[in-house]
Amino acid sequence: MKRVLVCFAVISTACAPKSKYVAPTVDVAPAFRENANWKMPEPRDAEIRGRWWELFDDPQLNDIETRVDVSNQSIRASEAQFAQARALAHGARANLGPQIALTPSIAIVQPSGNRAASSFHDVYGDFLLPVSVSYEADVWGRLHGILEANRTAAQASAADLESARLSIHAEVAVDYFTLRGLDSEQALLDTTVAAFERARELTENRFRGGIASQADVALAETQLETTRAQAVDVRSARAALEHAIAVLAGQPASTFAIPASPLTAAPPPVPVGVPSSLLERRPDIAAAERRVASASAQVGVATSAFYPILTLSAAGGFEASSIGAWFAGASGFWTAGPSLVVNLFDNGRRKAVKEQAVAQYDLATASYRQSVLVAFREVEDQLSALRVLDEEASVQDRAVAASERSMTLANNRYRGGVTSYLEVLATQSAALNNQRAAVNILIRRMNATVLLLQGLGGGWNVAALPVIPN
């Protein structure tokens, strides 16, 4: 019998399929189209590091970003999900070893006197002290496949954690620079309100002197109050952003404040690299690839279900009518031997499970390739946005300078009595709109830089994935 089992195991092992996982291939361009002239710096000192926000050299932003890793509750939730996935992998690894159980029991028994083959009807005690050992011989890799599926799923969860961390840090930076831009708008509007108050006083004085009309006074008053209303709206938007940043930093909005400081710095240059580097730098791509590996392992598990399960088990211990008689020679017992479970017919259930596993693998592969395409698109989007916004900023700066010259000329003409206040109003409104547009472009440039850094993975690398024993 032993020889039969050994021969059966050898034959089945030869028949069992074994395949090594290979990551799906993806099409990668040699360079980003919007950054085709980029050259690798030598030495590579300009590469993005983990604390990528420090590129902006803003101490206030650095302080807030540091709080995010400590107090953000979404990151805490992602960490808990990773811990759960890692524990599942550890549990799957435990199945590779033998299982040992001690199950002592004490029973007082009175058998039926009318039971078949019963020769007595006396009450007796049954004291058991058994130890059992069982071990599933992983002949065709079922247990190792389960472990690999759980191990790679845990690594995918770790990459998800890094994706969440990167996304939240980027959201903080976007909100922060938008808030700083609103501070710039607020300063601009406050300065403009003061100028419009002086213009209104001038118009009222001219009206009292019979030089200006009541309509000019009304226009000056309208312009002043409209600008004041815009300033109030900016303060409201700033407060909402401050509250949003407080939540991201894990603090109550009522206890969190960011001092006002206009946005003046230009966005820093970002080392982009080549498209192929995204496969190692983006945690979302790493998570998608690890899910492909997990799905591949599940296919192996489903395939192994077509083969028998070989279990080696043994049990031994003591049984007696009293505890004192446990260790008497006659009280000992033991049993040992292999067992084989062969599923002869399941009406297509295992085939359906394998088809489902293969379909899940195909789905994970498609999702992985799609995540790569999306990553390339996101980087190209932000490179394009930065290029266009840089050109737009130059044009807008010229527009601001021209509108300010036009406003100065109109004010001089009005004071000289050459034109009406309507011309002054038009040039003042144009100057304010152009100045606010310039601030808006700067906000968009800063935010595009943040999103580019996020699209590049923020300095993360796939080598940072945790090593989970297999």
Is residue 470 in a domain?
Answer: no
CA distance readout (Å), 261 to 88, 182, 186, 242:
48, 9, 10, 13
Is residue 120 in a domain?
Answer: yes
Is residue 10 in a domain?
Answer: no
Do residue 204 and residue 289 come from a single domain? yes
Do residue 291 and residue 162 come from a single domain? yes
pLDDT of residue 45: 46
Do residue 108 and residue 150 come from a single domain? no
Do residue 132 and residue 280 come from a single domain? no
CATH of the domain at 242: 1.20.1600.10
Do residue 232 and residue 337 come from a single domain? no
Do residue 261 and residue 114 come from a single domain? no
| Rounded Cα–Cα distance for residues 432 and 426 (Å) | 10
**pLDDT, block means (10 residues), the chain with 470 residues:** 45 55 89 65 55 94 94 93 94 92 86 64 77 91 93 96 96 97 96 90 85 86 92 95 96 94 92 86 95 96 92 88 76 88 91 96 96 94 94 95 93 83 87 95 96 93 88
| Rounded Cα–Cα distance for residues 462 and 415 (Å) | 68
Question: What are 450's two structure tokens?
Answer: 């943040």
> Which one, of 231, 129, 159, lies nearest residue 188 by Cα?
231
Is residue 245 in a domain?
Answer: yes
Question: What are 87's two structure tokens?
Answer: 């524990």
pLDDT of residue 4: 43
Do residue 422 and residue 287 come from a single domain? yes
Do residue 273 and residue 365 come from a single domain? yes
Do residue 336 and residue 433 come from a single domain? no
CATH of the domain at 329: 2.20.200.10
| Number of Cβ atoms within 10 Å of the Cβ of 144 | 20
Do residue 295 and residue 319 come from a single domain? no
Number of domains composing the chain: 2
Do residue 271 and residue 257 come from a single domain? yes
Is residue 65 in a domain?
Answer: yes
Do residue 157 and residue 255 come from a single domain? yes
Secondary structure string (H, E, C) spanning the chain: CHHHHHHHHHHHHHHCCCCCCCCCCCCCCCCCHHHCCCCCCCCCCCCCCCCHHHHHCCHHHHHHHHHHHHHCHHHHHHHHHHHHHHHHHHHHHHCCCCEEEECCEEEEECCCCCCCCCCCCCCEEEEEEEEEEEEEECCCCHHHHHHHHHHHHHHHHHHHHHHHHHHHHHHHHHHHHHHHHHHHHHHHHHHHHHHHHHHHHHHHHHHHCCCCCHHHHHHHHHHHHHHHHHHHHHHHHHHHHHHHHHHHCCCCHHHCCCCCCCCCCCCCCCCCCCHHHHHHHCHHHHHHHHHHHHHHHHHHHHHHCCCCEEEEEEEEEEEECCHHHCCCHHHEEEEEEEEEECCCCCCCHHHHHHHHHHHHHHHHHHHHHHHHHHHHHHHHHHHHHHHHHHHHHHHHHHHHHHHHHHHHHHHHHHHCCCCCHHHHHHHHHHHHHHHHHHHHHHHHHHHHHHHHHHHCCCCCCHHHCCCCCC
Q: Last residue of some domain: 287, 320, 342?
A: 342
| Rounded Cα–Cα distance for residues 339 and 351 (Å) | 24
Amino acid symbol at 205: N
Is residue 314 in a domain?
Answer: yes
Is residue 14 in a domain?
Answer: no
Task: Show the domain range for 319.
Answer: 99-137+309-342
Is residue 226 in a domain?
Answer: yes
